[in-house]
């Protein structure tokens, strides 16, 4: 192909491939090893409050334990959640087994929706 037969390239084709090579991440390099920091504003505020008023925390704990001892379910739940963590919630079907999925029904509903959308576009 002769030089005259080649079309002339026009327009912006981006920067040189070497631009930014010096600042790119190297193989195996982790930029943010700890990930995005988790912010817990309520926890931070409570820690600040208890640091300023050290006598407050034991009073709150005693009150919560007294409420739980009197049978208040919300206090019992709160103590359980703070000591053991919140219980894991499983998703199950009506008989306790896996959630039933009607794939044929879902596919039919999706096909009907696609047909309806096509009619609207016409």
Domain ranges of the chain: 54-87
Which residues of the chain are under the pLDDT cut of 50? none
pLDDT score recorded for residue 92 = 77
CA angle centred on 85, ends 58 and 71, rounded to 5°: 60
Is residue 68 within 8 Å of 76, Cβ to Cβ?
yes
pLDDT score recorded for residue 78 = 92
pLDDT score recorded for residue 77 = 92
Q: What is the pLDDT of residues 20-37, one digit of tens each?
A: 777 777 777 777 778 887
pLDDT score recorded for residue 3 = 62
pLDDT score recorded for residue 31 = 76
pLDDT score recorded for residue 4 = 62
């Amino acid at each position: 192909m002769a030089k005259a037969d080649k079309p002339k390239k026009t327009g912006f084709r981006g920067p040189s491939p070497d631009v930014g090579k010096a600042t790119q991440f190297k193989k195996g390099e982790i930029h943010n090893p700890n990930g995005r920091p988790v912010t817990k504003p309520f926890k931070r505020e409570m820690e600040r409050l208890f640091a300023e008023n050290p006598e407050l925390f034991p009073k709150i704990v005693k009150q919560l334990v007294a409420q739980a001892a009197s049978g208040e379910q919300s206090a019992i739940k709160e103590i359980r959640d703070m000591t053991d963590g919140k219980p894991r919630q499983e998703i199950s079907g009506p008989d306790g087994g896996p959630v039933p999925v009607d794939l044929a029904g879902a596919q039919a509903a999706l096909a009907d929706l696609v047909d309806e959308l096509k009619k609207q576009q016409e």
